[in-house]
Amino acid sequence: MPHYDPELPIPEHVAIIMDGNGRWAKGRGKIRNEGHREGAKSVEAVLEAAKAIGIRHLTLYAFSSENWKRPEDEVSGLMGLLSHFLKLKTPTLIKNDIRLKAIGAIDRLPPASRKQLDKSIADTAHCESLTCHIALSYGSREEIVRATQTLMQRAADGEMTPEELSVENFGDYLYTSEAPDPDLLVRTSGEFRISNFLLWQISYSEIHITDVLWPDFRHENLELAVADYQKRHRRYGGL
């Protein structure tokens, strides 16, 4: 029996702030990169779970624009893990009909990670059951400024008037333009913060915060998050 009700609405888009890898490692006397390695196994498990539940979009906060400030060995460990994971798991993504996309300033990634990412994105482009949007070198404020710069340039070039910009079309200028806004935002490791993630897009998202550290977050935990979502009554500011 799943923890959620398959008869009730399933969130179309779930976004996850994967937090607690460092604490998971520290609690076991391991180095932080071991926490990230175990966290990659949770990514794999959650992708399978999301597909089984019927979620159509999953956005994973894998590396923020602020994470570049971490020690060099942790940054290179994370970038190496990303390339390794994508190389190893892309055939499984294809088998499971999962499409990979990326959001963020991916031009800042090291060339080898960028190359593998581009390849995995191209190789899964035909997949349709679930789209995994991986946030890399992502920061929401940067995303909003970048969109605003594009819009200002369009106005300066006479391609658009200020009045043509609206709440409905601003999202077209964000990295996430091809996905609906998240219905559910999950954060692991018990922190009550948004950490510069999808600030515009989560305006009406339900929020589920769990004490579980990301490396311990598996199939069952995603089901419990969906069950929590199904208890909410979404009103979008109405009654």
> Which residues are annotated as catalytic?
19, 67
Q: Quick one: tokens of 208?
A: 């589920």
Asked if 77 interacts with ligand FPP (CB under 6 A), we say no
Asked if 102 interacts with ligand FPP (CB under 6 A), we say no
- Rounded to the nearest whole angstrom, what is the least distance from the CB of residue 132 to ligand FPP in the complex? 9
Q: Given the complex with ligand FPP, which of 11 and 22 has the nearer CB atom?
A: 22
Instruction: Give 172's DSSP letter.
Output: G
- Other CB atoms within a 10 A radius of the CB of residue 26 amount to 13
Which of 4, 11, 16, 22 contacts ligand FPP by CB under 6 A?
22
Q: How far apart are CA 39 and CA 35, in angstroms?
A: 6
Which residue type sits at 107? D
Which of 12, 51, 56, 67 contacts ligand FPP by CB under 6 A?
67
Instruction: Tell whether the torsion through CA atoms of 104, 105, 109 and 113 is positive or negative.
Output: positive
- Rounded to the nearest whole angstrom, what is the least distance from the CB of residue 22 to ligand FPP in the complex? 2
Which of 10, 43, 151, 198 contacts ligand FPP by CB under 6 A?
43
Q: Which of residues 123-142 bind ligand FPP (CB under 6 A)?
A: 134
Which residue type sits at 7? E
Asked if 174 interacts with ligand FPP (CB under 6 A), we say no
Q: Given the complex with ligand FPP, which of 139 and 151 has the nearer CB atom?
A: 139
Contact 58, 46 (CB under 8 A): yes
Asked if 21 interacts with ligand FPP (CB under 6 A), we say yes
Any idea which residue has 């300066």 for tokens? 156
- Rounded to the nearest whole angstrom, what is the least distance from the CB of residue 14 to ligand FPP in the complex? 15
Strands 98-103, 206-209: pairing is unpaired
Instruction: Give 9's DSSP letter.
Output: P
Asked if 39 interacts with ligand FPP (CB under 6 A), we say yes
CA-based nearest residue to 198, from 26, 13, 2, 15? 15
Give contact residues for ligand FPP (rule: CB under 6 A).
18-23, 36, 39-40, 43, 62, 67, 81-82, 85, 134, 189, 214
